[in-house]
Chains A and B, each alone.
Chain A
Amino acid sequence: MMHSPATPPNAYTRLDEYRVTVRFNAVGPTGLYHMRLHFDAGRLSGAPHAPRPGQFMMLDIQDDRDFRFRRPFSLMSWNPDTQEGDVIYKIVGEGTQRMAQWQEGDQSLVLSSLGVAFDDFKNIRPKRTLMLAGGVGLAPLLLWAEAGRQQDWQDDEMPTLIFGVRCHEEVKPLMAHLSTIMPLDKLILCTDDGSFGFHGNVVQWMDAHIEQVKYNYENILVCGPNPMMAASVKKSYELLPEAQVLVSLENHMPCGTGACYGCVVGQSEGRPPVKVCEVGPVLEASRVCWDTHGPTVGAFVYEKGVYPHFSADTVASMTTRGQG
């Protein structure tokens, strides 16, 4: 089984701190917020922001000096000409509660671009790619499709997007943007209440279209709530055992820079846990330990032999070899 990419540091392109200014911050009928941010040039490099789809940023939500962690976000859209990027979010905690109060002209700081991108993984054929999005997990997937359009992907080369939301109202504010990126025959909406499109979630859609999934796709990209990702990954490997399934994870992420070890997930086959912010957020799904709730830290035990074992004998053998 392939486990790429191997070297996260290469993925850090132009890591910098950017001052961002809110252009608008609108809320839809179901509580979905859509915010546009303008990025100043990087504070340290002076270079413009250049995010790659799949990478994330850490957004400062502190008021003055009251301590809060930054919050991780992926952009849903990025315009390199205007240096403006879009974020979608729902109020799920104190951070997003604060963001919801932001108005046009308000400013904050962003550390970006962090982590690995979708195109750090080789052999993704857009045409043969199924994107499974749940709620605000749409963002990094749509950015990837948008970046493809900016590289002149034609309609028949575009990936297919299965987008699961609670109800029709939720997706309405996003439809204008979605339809500029996705060909309509490659955009499938799933609503939990059946008010529009397919009645059910993305996994139920896959179950209802087994033959279509089996014969048309070899790459699957997943982003959404943890239980949705766990179920989607399971279903993807069930239908397409040979597929490359990539997930974009969003664990509790206090620092986003690899310092705090707060966001680790376990790896399959007894290999050591990895930091999502550093080795991810995009990871091959088979590499990660899962249960039905989402990714887990795994068995919490290093297999013997993964890293060298230290004991009194280690020191004794150094002396006899005359080192130092």
Chain B
Amino acid sequence: MNAALFHTSLGGLALNSPILNASGTFNADVFSRLFPLSPTLGALVTKTVTPNASAGNPQQRTVELPGVGMLNSIGLQGRGIIYTMERDILEWANAHNLPIILSLSADSEESFSQMATYINKHPNGTHVQAIELNVSCPNVHAGGALFGSSPEWVAKAVSAVRSATDKPLWVKLSPNAPDLVGVASAAADAGATGLTAINTISGAHVDIRRRKPSLSRISGGYSGPGLKPIAIHHVLNIAKAHPNIPIIGVGGITCAEDVIEFMMAGCTAVQVGTQCFATPAVFLDIMDDLESWCEREGVKQLSDLVGCAVSR
């Protein structure tokens, strides 16, 4: 592998590769058996961790949407922040030597702040290289409305975490926000060092055989190839409004050409999610094809491509 081609720096965080996994789509234990994770992946983004354990939603939790992706309503199933910091994080750190990006979610800015303080003070907190805030969750102070829909609420959450930790802090933006660039600006002003764009977009599916919605919770998050043009649209807008904050692009990436497209649209790094389910070795294919493409095009460093398609 051509190390110089892939090396990148993301808001002070040095990465061997700009290709990461998307939160909730990747099992480090299984994937490390499939291929050498380092330096294939730039960092490992964890499944979202909540303050306390949650059993998640009833079945059915996923729907395949042939050709275009999937819906999911898993419901943030997990074992909570304490178990994660005491146990899981040591397992991940032992399984590979990748930087760990801890994805966090909470239902209030106070709770976000407490989690960040806990991570910062925990002896195992040194294994956390950055935090990614998942704000696609209800805000109890706003009657359960989506945190990520409001620039004001996101600013409060980011400020709360920012004052609790100096770690690099990314915010994963929701396309369900009426004004995504406004939310991005609020996050940047409140101290985010990276913007992840975009999370899943709300969607639903009716099972015409059973004559009812397929998902037990009726609606879920749509992801997959069909999400890509929506993600590119938002990335271009954020890059134009905020040329100095790194963007981590995510949404429907399946191949090397998609990675190049996101980088040209302004992304310093990208995350691959849903395609991991269909093609677990997708990272190997992407890295191989990126090398070939760059050689053909005379590109010496992938980072040279970042933002070349953004109109200034």
Q: Which of B30, B52, B77 has the most CB of A within 10 A?
A: B30
Q: Interface 1/0s, chain A 281-324, versus B by CB < 8 A?
A: 00000000000000011111110001111111011001100011
| Any B CB within 8 A of the CB of A137 | no
B-facing mask of A49-84, CB < 8 A → 1, else 0?
A: 000000000101010011111100000000000000
Chain B residues positioned under 8 Å from A324 (CB to CB): 120-123, 125
The verdict on B143 contacting chain A, using a C-beta distance below 8 Å, is: no
User: In the complex, which residues of chain B have a beta carbon less than 8 angstroms from the beta carbon of A307?
Assistant: 52-53, 79-80, 82-83
| A94/B77 in contact, CB under 8 A | no
Within 8 A of A (CB), among B100-156: 110, 114-115, 117-118, 120-123, 125
Which residues of chain A are within 8 angstroms of B281 by Cβ–Cβ distance? 17, 43-44
By beta carbon, the residue of chain A nearest B116 is A315
Q: Contact mask B254-289 → A, CB, 8 Å, 1/0?
A: 110000000000000000001111111100000000
The answer to whether B80 and A44 touch across the interface, beta carbons within 8 angstroms, is: no
Say yes or no: is B250 at the interface (Cβ < 8 Å to chain A): no
Tell yes or no: B67 within 8 A of A by CB.
Answer: yes
Is B68 part of the binding interface, using a Cβ–Cβ cutoff of 8 Å?
yes
Q: Is the CB of A309 within 8 A of B122?
A: no
Is B74's CB within 8 Å of the partner chain A?
yes
Chain B residue contacts of A67, Cβ below 8 A: 65-70, 224-225, 254, 274-275, 278
Contacting A252 at CB < 8 Å: which of B56, B62, B123? B62
Please report the total number of A residues contacting B with Cβ < 8 Å.
Answer: 53
CB-CB under 8 A from A312, the residues of chain B are 110, 114
Tell me whether A96 is interfacial, beta carbon within 8 Å: no
**Given the complex of chains A and B, what is the CA–CA distance between A306 and B56 in angstroms?**
15
Q: B277 to chain A: which residues have CB within 8 Å?
A: 69-70, 254-255, 257, 259-260
Q: Taking A252-B62, A260-B72 as contacts, is the C-beta distance between A44 and B55 under 8 angstroms? A: no
Interface assignment of B299: CB less than 8 Å from any CB of chain A? no
A197 interface residue (CB < 8 Å to B): no
- CB-defined contacts of B96 to chain A, threshold 8 Å: none
Contacts of A315 in B (CB 8 A): 114, 117-118, 121
Shortest CB-to-CB span from A56 to chain B, Å, is: 13
CB A54 to nearest CB in B, in angstroms, measures 18
Complex interface: chain B residues within 8 A of A300 (CB): 55-58
Is there a chain B Cβ closer than 8 Å to A15's Cβ? Answer: yes
Closest to A306 in B: B53
17 contacts between A and B (CB under 8 A): A9-B29, A12-B30, A15-B33, A15-B34, A67-B254, A68-B278, A252-B59, A254-B64, A259-B276, A260-B24, A260-B277, A273-B56, A296-B58, A297-B58, A307-B52, A315-B117, A315-B118
